[in-house]
Structures are given as C-alpha cells and as structure tokens.
C-alpha cells in the first residue's frame, strides 16, 4: 500500500476514534495485550528472522540486544498496554470555559491530535508502546520502524490489528509502513495532508534527519547534554551521590549527566572527593586546566568535549567563577534538556532556575528524574527538547490538542 493510501485510511480511522468511548478503548487495549501474549511464539519466530539477518550483517551486540525479544519482553510489552489502559482518559475534558459580553459561550475542549506519525529505530517494543499511547488518546498512528526489526514489527502490528478487529474497532488505528526504502520515508515526512504531527524516537542522527526533512510539524525529542553545576555553596554530601547517580545509574539515556561545572573556589576541597567516587565507578574525567592542576589523572578537555553527549563512562569538567558563568556555559553547550545546580544558597538556586534555558532545571537532585513516570505522568512518549507544544517529559495529554466550541443564539459582528 502506498503512503497516501495509508494517510487516507488513517484519516478515516481518526474520525471514528475521536468519539470512541473510554471504556471501549480500555477493552481494546486489554484485548491487544492478551493477544500479544497468546501469540508470543509467532512474534518470537518473526523476531528470530530479524536477529538472524542482524547477525549475518554483523550488527553490534548492543543493537542485537535491543532488537531481541523473549517471552518476558513480550509479557512486558503486554503489561505496558494494560498499564496504559488503566490510565484516566483525558479526552473531552473542558480545559477552560467562559462567556463573552455578547453572550457567546466559549469552551476549550481537549481533543485528539488526529493522525500521529512515529519514526523509530530497532526496538520492536516501541511498536506496541507507541500504538498504546496514541490509541488511548484517540489518535490514529502510522509507524515507521527500523528495517532491522521489520519482521518483528509486522507481526506485532498484525496481532494488534487483529485484536482491534475482534473488538469492532477500526484496525487502521494502527498502520505500519513496511516499505523500508528511503523514498517512502521521505514521502512520509511530507504527508502534511494527513499527518498532524511526526515524532522521531531514537538516535540524535534520526532526530536531526526528521527535523531537517519533515514538512509535517515535528516534536523533537531526545538528545541530552545534561550538566550539574556544583556551586561554592554546595553541600558535598549531596553533590557526590547526585553526580554519581546522574552519570552512572544508566549511561546510555538522554537524562544522564555528561558534564560538570564546578565553582573555582571549591576545586581543591571538592574535586579530590568527587574524583575518588568517579574512579570507583570507572568514569573517565576530562577537565579544563584548573581541574587538571588538582587531579593528576584528569585528561585535558578539548572544546568539543563540552558539547559531547558521551552516553558512556566519561564526564567533562569545567571550572567557573560563579553561577552567572555556569549559566552562560550551560546555555552555550546544553541541549535544553535537564540541568542541575547543587547549592544551599537560595539566591544562587533562583538565578540558576531563571537563567538556564532547559526543559527541566533541578536544585539538589539528579537529572535522571526527567522522565514521564518519575514526574507522575503515568506514561511517556518521549522527552521534548523543543519549546512548542510540549517541553520535557510528554505523557498522554501531550498527544492531544484542543478545539474551541462556541455556543450562540444568533450573534453576528
């Protein structure tokens, strides 16, 4: 099927989904979860082909691990859908309503976005997860997964569509683009007539390609060159565990800390304490001259280091003269994701919170909390690093928009 035809089907589906009762959606999500578990062996068989193809072309072991499914991973996928089913339905909520002097009654009502496109890479669990979030919010979704996972994604999609059919819900609530050539992806990114938004999920390269080539509105997610600034008024007993947590609890994620900014006044007192903890956690340090003067095993940082999202056991360290310089450094090198200050000084905390241009700004806490579940949103479609529509962790509400309904009795201008 060509992309335009898929767009048309999604459009038809969106009108049927926008008025689907919350209970019906819940039942359909549970049915999809059950069927995924029941058909585990079929999913595993399809996944085995993807894994074999991946091995044959020498795929990196980390990539193979992301691609690989197991009974447990399929059970987790199903559990994810059940958990989405149980979340409250935010549709039809009246966000605001007011009456104008001429008697017009205006209501701002939450409605689905309509048709959502999602482009992602090798993890097949995104297929079920993205469907669940879009479906719960009354949206039709068109998915474009990585070609490496095409057999797994096709099978997961077939099963979910079958579950929808048995529940008398339009199967076109979920469509998967199975054509893996670049031309199709290019067409998808320009499908403005049918797509209301396009969300890339994956590597920095994927996200950049979508931002640069899409004419459909994009929600940019992902890259995080996150900093922790240790102020001269920092409590070292908070600073060290926060830094170790933010750097090492999970190194490959966007909210991990990649760079430290240290007040020059505390370099002699703080850096040796910190370095000991970093060494114990096998983290390589790359600092400026002031840092290297204090720490013998610190590598001299290049300017590129400050702009690098390592996603590895490496951290850059920069000394500054105070909170203003810290803010300027972070605004220069940060990716508008998550930034933290460690300080007991309220004025410094306030300057930092106001000055730093990022989705989430922390005082005395780990940047790792930037996450839909940690924020209590109950779900997460990604972390937005742009400023339009949604910023920071995006939950279900961020997959909706509003419309104004206006009730009159003959008003004219």
Question: Which run of H or E residues covers position 197?
Answer: strand 197-201
* Residue 364 region by backbone torsions, left for phi larger than 0, else alpha for psi between -120 and 50, else beta: left
> Of 264, 291, 263, nearest to 278 (Cα)?
291
Nearest approach in angstroms of CB 328 to a copy of itself is 8
Nearest approach in angstroms of CB 70 to a copy of itself is 25
Could you give the CA distance from residue 100 to residue 102 in angstroms, rounded to a whole number?
A: 5
Q: How far is CA 43 from CA 48, 52, 327, 356, in A?
A: 9, 14, 49, 46
In Å, how far from its chain's centre is CA 3? 25
Between 180 and 205, CB nearer to a copy of itself: 205
Could you give the CA distance from residue 135 to residue 32 in angstroms, rounded to a whole number?
A: 11
Between 173 and 295, CB nearer to a copy of itself: 173
Nearest approach in angstroms of CB 176 to a copy of itself is 23
Provide CB contacts within 8 A for 355, sequence distance 6+. Answer: 323, 324, 327, 331
Nearest approach in angstroms of CB 183 to a copy of itself is 18
Between 58 and 376, CB nearer to a copy of itself: 376
Tell me the backbone φ, ψ of residue 409, rounded to 5 degrees: -140, 40
Nearest approach in angstroms of CB 388 to a copy of itself is 4
Q: What does the CA dihedral 268, 271, 275, 278 come to, rounded to 10 degrees?
A: 170
> Of 71, 72, 75, 94, nearest to 83 (Cα)?
75
Between 251 and 363, CB nearer to a copy of itself: 363
Residues that bind a copy of itself (CB under 8 A): 14-15, 18-19, 98, 100, 104, 106, 113-114, 192, 196-197, 211-212, 215, 217-220, 235, 237-238, 241-242, 244-246, 249, 331, 349, 353-355, 357-366, 368-370, 374-376, 386-389, 391-392, 401-413
Q: How many CB atoms lie within 10 A of CB 318?
A: 24
Between 53 and 203, CB nearer to a copy of itself: 203
Between 242 and 317, CB nearer to a copy of itself: 242
Nearest approach in angstroms of CB 280 to a copy of itself is 16
Between 122 and 255, CB nearer to a copy of itself: 255
> Of 218, 303, 238, 233, nearest to 265 (Cα)?
233
Nearest approach in angstroms of CB 362 to a copy of itself is 5
Nearest approach in angstroms of CB 319 to a copy of itself is 21
Between 31 and 246, CB nearer to a copy of itself: 246
Dihedral sign from CA coordinates of 52, 55, 61, 66: negative
């Amino acid at each position: 099927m060509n992309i335009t035809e898929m767009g048309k089907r999604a459009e038809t589906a969106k009108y049927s989904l926008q008025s689907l009762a919350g209970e019906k959606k819940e039942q359909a999500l549970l049915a999809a979860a059950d069927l995924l578990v029941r058909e585990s062996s079929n999913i595993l068989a399809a996944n085995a082909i993807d894994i074999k193809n991946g091995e044959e072309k020498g795929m990196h072991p980390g990539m193979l691990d992301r691609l690989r499914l197991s009974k447990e991973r399929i059970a987790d996928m199903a559990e994810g859908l059940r958990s989405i089913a149980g979340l409250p339905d935010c549709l039809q909520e009246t966000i605001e309503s007011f009456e104008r002097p001429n008697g017009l009654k205006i209501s701002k009502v939450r409605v689905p976005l309509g048709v959502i496109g999602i482009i992602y890479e090798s993890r097949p669990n995104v297929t079920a997860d993205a469907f669940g979030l879009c479906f719960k919010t009354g949206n039709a979704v068109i998915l474009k997964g990585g070609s490496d996972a095409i057999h797994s994604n096709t099978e997961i999609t077939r099963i979910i569509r079958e579950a929808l059919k048995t529940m008398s819900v339009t199967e076109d609530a979920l469509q998967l683009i199975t054509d893996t050539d670049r031309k199709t992806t290019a067409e998808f990114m320009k499908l403005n007539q049918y797509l209301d938004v396009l969300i890339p999920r994956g590597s920095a390269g994927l996200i950049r390609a979508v931002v640069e080539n899409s004419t459909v509105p994009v929600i940019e997610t992902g890259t995080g060159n996150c900093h922790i600034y240790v102020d001269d008024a920092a409590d070292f007993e908070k600073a060290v565990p926060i830094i170790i947590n933010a750097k090492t609890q999970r190194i490959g994620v966007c909210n991990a800390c990649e760079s430290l900014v240290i007040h020059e006044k505390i370099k002699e007192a703080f850096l040796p304490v910190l370095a000991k903890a970093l060494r114990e956690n096998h983290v390589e340090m790359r600092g400026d001259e002031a840092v290297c003067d204090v720490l013998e095993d610190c590598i001299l940082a290049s300017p590129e280091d400050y702009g690098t999202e390592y996603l590895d056991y490496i951290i850059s360290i920069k000394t500054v003269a105070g909170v203003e310089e810290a803010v300027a450094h972070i605004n220069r090198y940060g990716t508008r994701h998550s930034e933290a200050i460690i300080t007991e000084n309220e004025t410094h905390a306030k300057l930092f919170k106001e000055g730093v241009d990022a989705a989430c700004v922390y005082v005395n806490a780990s940047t790792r909390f930037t996450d839909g579940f940690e924020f209590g949103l109950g779900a997460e479609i990604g972390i937005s690093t742009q400023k339009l529509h949604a910023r920071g962790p995006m939950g279900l509400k961020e997959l909706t928009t509003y419309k104004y309904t206006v009730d009159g009795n003959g008003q004219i201008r």
